[in-house]
Each structure stands twice: as structure tokens, then as C-alpha cells.
């Protein structure tokens, strides 16, 4: 396996270009630590508390729904991550091999918007966390501290992000385990096991939430596996990503559920964590803050790669330097800080609502990506064509993929249940957003039929041309 040389720069010098085989490094277990540590954070814990507070499930049914949802959704993120070593390029660049050079731009735009949205939300959340720990620090200064810290990590790039999460796995995993032990070592409310119960709507809503949670990471998973050696195969990256992503989120969701049940009904989620963990609570809050910053670096990193991908679509021979990537990160940082500093009190909930609504566009993309990679092309892509100005063998637009993509979005709309839009059939199962299921069921076979028909037509045309 290639080793890092002493001349390797601190700041990652690759952006959206292909990572040469000689520069590959790392092991599959790095994917476990990345996705495990990333998901031990306040947002999944707060979401886990919703299982009891909003969906009114008891401990047993809640844990079952949490586990099932993440185990199902984890298949998508793991399959996407396993593409990185084979391709050696970021996930959004790879989309050119499915949608065409210009056809992929819409997907890249949505991905960039989602990254930036989560970056803004997380720097607001980090700012509030800093104020909660050190009330004397002004809110604007707290937001800037959180934003600058995440930007520094994102600018340094791939290797530093993995290093932080290897450390974070042990620190955050141990902290969460200590939190569980503390809660169960002390007296629990009499209704700890019986509060709530089973209801089909709440159970399905929890399962759906887990699936959607995992799918939301899929547009940038191979960004963090593309440096792995090409001969590492598919199985090891899949297993490492799957176990890391599912175990991290299941534990965090479960911790939120347990903390909510261990405190009086109606207690706000993070307050419940502090109350349920006693003296350990303040320590957990500091660790959660550090993890918010570390995780937010992924959002900035993904946003930069998406914007660079968009620019390079029109300038095929352009490869940005380290300086350009630093400047671009600074521009994104400045714009996001301006928005965050002017944010209203309910900004986070409003913005998260917008981002979750945008997840409607990710389900058909993920369907097309996985069908194309694993069934149609079986991992064999022409990397040179992906970077050619005319799209090479993939062309500027692949109408079959684009048609399947938009149909995949349209069929979800009647079932969508978001804060921005509620479809006419959204309440077939009250409280559960099942639009993702409709999107998968329709887009996968539709794209397969269109893509195989296109391939058959090309083979037939080639044969006719040969015989002539």
C-alpha cells in the first residue's frame, strides 16, 4: 500500500480530479470511524427523543423502529460509499457518468444547497452550544468561532477529517456509553418502560425517519472513500460504512429516546440529556459541541467540491489549486455567517424543514446511481470521458436518466409530508412520510428499463454499422 511521503502538503491538493493509484492510502476501517463518530451528535439525539415525545412509542417499539429504519437506509449509504475506491472521484462528479456532463448539474446544485443549508444550521447550533457552556461569550462571536473551526477542518481536507473521526470514535463512543451507564445506574421513572405504546403511524414514521436519515448522506459518501486503494474491493468498504453509519445513528437515536423516557414527560430533548446524566451532562455538552464542529466540516467540504464540480463543467481543463479552494471556502464561510448572524430564533427548524423537503430530489438520484453502478455498468466507467468537455461516451445529457429522475420526483409529491409541502395522500399513514418508498419503487425499475433499452439500441446500431 502506498505510504504518505514527507512532502505531502498539510492541505489536501486534490479536489474533484481523479486520485491516482499511487496516491491511494488508508484502510476500510477508516470509513467505520468516520461515519460512526459523525453520527454521535445532538441532532440525532434530539431526533431520537422525538420517538417518545412526538411519535409516542414506548422503549421496546421505539428501539425496534429505530434499528429497522437505519439498518434499511444504511444499505444505500454503504453501497454509495463502496463506489469510491473503484472510481477515485467524488460522488457528484461520478453523476456525469449517469446523467451526462451537463445533465448532472441539477443534481450538483441540489447537493450544494443541502450542504450549505446544513452548514448554516450547524454553525447556529454550535454558536448556541458555546453560549450554553460559556454564557459570557456573545452569540455573534460564538457563531463565528463555530464557523471558523469547521472551515479550518474542511480546508485541510480529507486526511484531517478522517484523523479527527478516528479519535472521535473512541471519545464520543465512550462518552455515550458512559451516559447510558449513568442513566441506568440511577433511579428511573415508574413509567420508563410503559410510557407510550405501539401505534402504526408513529412506528412507520420512525422507520421512515431512519431510512431518510441514512439516504441524506449518500451524495457525498464516496468523497471520503475515493483515496482508498482500488484493490480494496466492494465488500470491505460496504461493511465498514454500513456498520459505522448504522451503529452510530442507532446508538444516538436510542440515547435520545432513553433520556426522554428517563425525565418527566415534555422535557426538551437536550435538557433531558443534561438532567438524565447528572454531573456527566456538562462534559457531554462540550463533547457534542466539538462533534458538531467536526461534522460541519463535512458539509463545507462537500459544498466546496460541489461548487468546483459546477465550475469545472464549463471549464473541463481547469483544476483548482489549494489557494482557490481556500478562497472558495472563505467565500462560503462569509456568506453563511452573514445568514447565520441574521437568523431568527426558529431559523434552524425552518431551514431543516427546507432541507428535508429537498431530500425528495435525493431518492431518485440515489436509485439511479445504485442501479447504474451495480447493475447496468457493474462498476466499469470511462474516467477520461467523465472529464471531457463533451462528456465523452456519456455525452452532455443522458435523457433516459433525466426522465427517470424527474418522474421519480413527481411520483413522490402526492405522498410528501414536509413542512413546506404536504401532498394530497400524505396522511395515508398519519405522521409518516412514505414518499421515499414510492420514489424508490418507481425510479429503480424505470431507470433500469430505460438504460437497458438504450444499451440494446446502441448494440444493435453498432452491429448494423459493422455489417454495412
Handedness of CA 386, 390, 395, 401 (dihedral sign): positive
Show the CA angle centred on residue 19, arms to residues 82 and 81, nearest 5°.
15
Per-position DSSP letters for 302-371, written without gaps between them = HHHHHHHHHHHHH-TT----HHHHHHHHHHHHHHHHHHHHT--TTHHHHHHHHHHHHGGGHHHHHHHHHH
Which cell is 291 given?
A: 462533534
User: CA nearest 426: which of 411, 416, 418?
Assistant: 416
Which cell is 147 given?
A: 464557523
pLDDT in tens, 25-46: 888 999 999 899 888 888 888 8
pLDDT in tens, 244-258: 999 999 999 999 999
pLDDT the model gives residue 270: 81
pLDDT the model gives residue 426: 81
pTM over 0.85: yes
d(CA 54, CA 36): 26
pLDDT the model gives residue 465: 56
pLDDT the model gives residue 468: 41
d(CA 235, CA 233): 6
d(CA 400, CA 372): 12
**pLDDT averages per 10-residue partition of the chain, 468 residues:** 45 74 87 90 86 93 96 95 92 91 89 84 81 82 84 73 80 92 93 91 88 87 89 94 96 95 88 90 86 82 85 81 80 85 66 69 92 93 91 92 95 85 80 83 95 68 50
Packing angle between helix 435-467 and helix 362-371, nearest 10 degrees? 40
Residue ranges and CATH numbers for the domains of the chain are 21-357 (1.10.4160.10)
Q: Which residues contact 386 (CB under 8 A, 6 or more apart)?
A: 89, 93, 94, 96, 97, 101, 392, 394
Contact between 146 and 130 under an 8 Å Cβ cutoff? The reply is: yes
pLDDT the model gives residue 467: 42
Contact between 316 and 5 under an 8 Å Cβ cutoff? The reply is: no
Q: How many CA atoms lie within 13 A of 456 on its CB side?
A: 6
Amino acid at each position: 500500500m502506498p505510504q504518505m511521503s514527507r512532502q505531502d502538503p498539510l492541505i489536501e491538493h486534490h479536489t474533484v480530479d481523479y486520485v491516482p493509484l499511487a496516491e491511494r492510502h488508508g484502510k476500510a476501517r477508516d470509513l467505520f470511524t468516520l461515519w460512526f463518530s459523525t453520527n454521535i451528535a445532538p441532532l440525532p439525539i434530539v431526533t431520537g427523543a422525538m420517538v417518545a415525545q412526538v411519535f409516542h412509542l414506548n422503549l421496546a417499539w421505539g428501539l425496534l423502529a429505530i434499528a429497522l429504519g437505519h439498518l434499511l437506509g444504511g444499505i444505500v449509504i454503504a453501497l454509495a460509499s463502496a463506489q469510491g475506491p473503484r472510481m477515485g472521484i467524488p460522488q457528484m462528479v461520478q453523476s456525469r457518468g449517469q446523467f451526462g456532463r451537463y445533465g448532472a448539474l441539477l443534481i450538483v446544485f441540489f447537493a450544494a444547497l443541502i450542504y450549505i443549508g446544513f452548514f448554516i444550521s450547524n454553525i447556529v447550533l454550535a454558536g448556541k452550544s458555546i453560549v450554553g457552556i460559556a454564557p459570557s461569550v456573545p452569540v455573534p462571536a460564538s457563531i463565528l468561532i463555530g464557523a471558523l473551526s469547521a472551515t479550518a477542518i474542511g480546508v485541510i481536507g480529507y486526511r484531517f477529517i478522517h484523523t479527527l473521526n478516528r479519535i472521535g470514535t473512541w471519545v464520543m463512543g465512550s462518552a455515550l456509553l458512559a451516559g447510558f451507564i449513568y442513566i441506568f445506574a440511577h433511579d428511573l421513572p415508574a413509567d420508563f418502560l410503559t410510557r407510550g405504546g405501539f401505534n402504526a403511524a408513529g412506528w412507520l414514521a420512525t422507520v421512515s425517519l431512519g431510512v431518510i436519515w441514512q439516504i441524506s448522506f449518500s451524495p457525498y459518501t464516496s468523497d471520503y472513500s475515493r483515496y482508498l486503494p482500488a484493490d480494496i474491493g466492494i465488500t470491505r468498504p460496504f461493511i465498514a460504512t454500513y456498520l459505522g453509519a448504522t451503529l452510530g445513528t442507532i446508538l444516538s437515536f436510542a440515547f435520545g429516546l432513553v433520556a426522554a423516557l428517563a425525565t418527566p414527560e415534555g422535557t426538551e430533548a437536550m435538557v433531558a440529556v443534561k438532567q438524565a446524566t447528572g454531573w456527566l451532562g456538562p462534559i457531554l455538552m462540550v463533547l457534542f459541541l466539538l462533534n458538531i464542529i467536526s461534522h460541519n466540516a463535512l458539509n463545507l467540504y462537500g459544498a466546496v467540491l460541489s461548487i468546483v464540480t459546477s465550475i469545472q463543467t464549463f471549464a473541463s481543463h481547469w483544476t483548482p489549486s489549494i489557494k482557490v479552494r481556500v478562497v472558495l471556502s472563505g467565500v462560503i464561510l462569509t456568506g453563511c455567517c452573514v445568514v447565520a448572524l441574521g437568523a431568527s430564533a426558529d431559523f434552524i427548524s425552518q431551514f431543516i424543514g427546507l432541507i428535508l423537503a429537498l431530500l425528495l430530489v435525493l431518492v431518485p438520484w440515489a436509485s439511479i446511481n445504485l442501479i447504474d453502478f451495480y447493475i447496468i455498468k457493474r462498476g466499469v466507467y470511462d474516467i477520461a470521458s467523465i472529464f471531457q468537455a463533451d462528456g465523452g461516451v456519456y455525452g452532455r445529457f443522458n435523457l433516459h436518466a433525466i426522465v427517470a429522475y424527474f418522474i421519480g420526483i413527481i411520483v413522490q409529491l402526492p405522498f410528501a409530508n414536509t413542512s413546506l409541502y404536504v401532498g394530497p395522500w400524505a396522511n395515508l399513514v398519519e405522521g409518516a412520510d412514505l414518499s421515499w418508498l414510492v420514489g424508490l419503487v418507481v425510479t429503480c425499475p424505470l431507470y433500469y428499463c430505460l438504460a437497458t433499452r438504450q444499451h440494446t439500441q446502441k448494440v444493435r446500431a453498432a452491429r448494423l454499422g459493422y455489417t454495412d
